[in-house]
Chain A
Amino acid sequence: MEYILKLLKPVTDFLGRILRVFNPPRIFSWQTLIYLSIFSWIMASISVGIISNLIGLCGWIFLILATAWYTTDNPLRVFGIPLGALITGALVSVFLFGGGRPETGLTVHSFVFWPTVTALITGIPEFIESGKGKLPSPDVRQRIIILIGVAAVISCWLQFYFVMQNWLQEFPTLQSDTFNRQGLVVRVGEPTTTPTNGIRILNQLDAAVKEELEDRPWSEVERWLIEGKQRVGSLSQEVIQDNLAKYDEKVLWRVQPRVTNLKPVKSGYNLELYAVWNGPSSDPRRYYLSKSCRITPISGGIPQKNSLARVSCSQVSRKPIRGLPPQQL
């Protein structure tokens, strides 16, 4: 600390004269450092490029030193951890893991490392005695090691929280499930009730099927429906690739069709589209969403060879259906 101040003496002298207006008790006080950091940031904000980064860095260092100074002067302890170390720790981890600039703000890393950095800072004074380095007694060393260990475990828990948030982003369908209370997580707030990705798949598939079949000759449509499984399969692959590309859960949705005759017989077909969720679910029986499309000739009645087809689809089932969908007979 003193060494740094000696280096900065000319600067602090000059600034001290100016800042006497704001009346810090001594020139070497934490207020001076705060002013220095504010000054640095102002300078950083009006300069550009590497100069700006450099001055910004000084601003950070001044701010951290000022905080450390202030909080060592006025120690306030919570559970044996000086509260000051928590604040200094927060600043240091924002500085180290937040990109080093105030505008980047909080990142996941600065948050995760906060406890560990705090514990490390708490340990530092034990290694310094009247400005010199010293080795604390084994008992003290042991206490520091345990403190850092506990803090590191807490950091790991925080990181796990973020890993879990990442899972929920990659597998958003999980959000629509009810987490039973035996799970290792708790949920605050209301779940979304429907798996949006499943609905999206079926709606897009509906559009794709319409594009393929609408206004096509009836014989062509019938041929398409005979190979329904392959046709719908490849269409759904495309739909999933187009719409769910950014999610990991894209491999967990499977679409299967089921073609049935409409009544009266031969007046048309009913194409059921099922989107089956193959991923984790609170119910091991799995669930699926369904949508049904009626394929009828435009003219109505018994279709002729050359009559054109019309496709009209229902809404996606409002709630997921438990179990597996019925198979094609």
Chain B
Amino acid sequence: MSYNTFPLGTILFNALFLLVAIAIESYVFHTRGRRLDKKASVAYATCVNLFANVLGWIIFFAIEPTLPVNVKTQLISFVFFNQLDSPDANFQSFIIMVGFLIFFATFLLKFGGLRLLEIALKYPLAEPEKINTLTINRRSYKTKLQSRNMATGVLLANSFSYSAILLILVLRSLEVRQIAG
């Protein structure tokens, strides 16, 4: 072979999405829900995102060989030429469904990852707050509601980071269309 192809764009985008997700999610972990301190929230967001990312890749590698040829060609078309081959409505709704599934799968992975991380680091993310009727003031009551469960925090963080990534993708596709047109 006189040439070689290298998925540089894929790697750079993956790295960019990881950085964006870690930045946003550590901010969410820091300001909402359990209110982790800065260092811990960055570390938690990093671990959880790396974990979800690796598992996502592994699932992709497991599914990829079994894909039917028409789906595979769409995938190849996207990776190599940054376009979907035949934009028929069926396929578009399929993509939307896949995106939807991926969102909830990542949420579950991140939630599970956080649990695993808690076990691995052997210190709980936050002690369950003791209900002390005397010291309840409005603020702590509010925090308690917010920190009611970890799942809400992860869901929130995941939604924010996915929105940001989606925004990047949309901006990119607009730019690509401009260059191409």
Please give, as numbers and ranges, the residues of chain B lying within 8 Å of A252 by CB-CB distance.
69, 73
Main secondary structure of the interface of A (DSSP, over half): helix
Question: Are A280 and B73 in touch, CB under 8 angstroms?
Answer: yes
The contact of A183 among B74, B80, B117, by CB within 8 Å, is B80
15 A-B pairs with C-beta separation under 8 A: A142-B121, A149-B47, A150-B50, A152-B50, A153-B53, A159-B57, A159-B61, A179-B80, A180-B180, A184-B79, A186-B9, A188-B5, A188-B6, A189-B2, A280-B74
Q: Is B100 an interface residue (CB 8 A)?
A: no
Q: How far is the CB of B171 from chain A (nearest CB, A)?
A: 13
Could you tell me the distance in whole angstroms from the C-beta of A160 to the nearest C-beta in chain B?
Answer: 6
Return the CB mask of B147-181 against A: 1 if under 8 Å, else 0: 00000000000000000000000000000100110
B77 at the A/B interface (Cβ < 8 Å)? yes
* Contact A189–B121 (Cβ < 8 Å): no
Is the beta-carbon distance between A156 and B57 smaller than 8 angstroms? yes
Q: Interface stretch among B29-37, B81-89, B133-141?
A: B81-89
Cβ contact of A179, chosen from B10, B81, B176, cutoff 8 A: B81
Our pick among A146, A171, A185, A282 for the contact of B5 (Cβ within 8 Å) is A185
CB contact list, B70-119 vs A, under 8 A: 72-74, 76-83, 85, 117
How large, as a class, is the contact surface on chain B?
35 or more
Nearest-CB residue, chain A, relative to B56: A156
User: In the complex, are the beta carbons of B120 and A145 less than 8 A apart?
Assistant: yes
Who on chain A is nearest to B172 by CB? A182
**Which of A24-32, A46-54, A161-169, A229-237 makes up part of the contact surface?**
A161-169
Quick check: A185 and B54 within 8 Å, CB to CB? no
Enumerate chain A interface residues (CB-CB to B < 8 A): 138, 141-142, 145-146, 149-150, 152-153, 156-157, 159-161, 163-165, 167-168, 171, 174-175, 177, 179-180, 182-192, 248, 251-252, 279-282, 284
> Which B residue sits closest to A169, measured CB to CB?
B1
Using CB atoms and an 8 Å cutoff, list the residues of chain B in contact with chain A: 2-11, 13-14, 18, 43, 46-47, 50-51, 53-54, 57-58, 61, 64, 69, 72-74, 76-83, 85, 117, 120-123, 176, 179-180
Contact B81 A281 (CB under 8 A): yes
CB neighbours of B76 from chain A (8 A): 167, 171, 174, 279-280
Q: Is the CB of A138 within 8 A of B121?
A: yes
| Alpha-carbon gap, A142 to B76, bound state (A) | 37
Asked whether B80 lies within 8 Å of A157 as measured between CB atoms, the reply is: no
A171 to B6, CA, bound (A): 16
Rounded to whole angstroms, the CA-CA distance of A183 and B5 in the bound complex is 11
Taking CB atoms, residues of chain A closer than 8 Å to B176 are 182
**Contacting residues, chain B, for A167 (C-beta < 8 A):** 72, 76
Contact A185 B80 (CB under 8 A): yes
Give complex CA distance A152, B13 in Å: 17
> Across the two chains, which residue of chain B brings its CB closest to A180?
B81
Does B80 lie within 8 Å of A189, measured CB to CB?
no
B117 neighbours in A (Cβ, 8 Å): 145
Does the CB pair B5–A187 fall under 8 Å? yes
Contact B11 A157 (CB under 8 A): yes
Contact present for A141 and B120 (CB under 8 Å)? yes
Shortest CB distance A282–B (Å): 5
Q: Is the CB of B4 within 8 A of A188?
A: yes
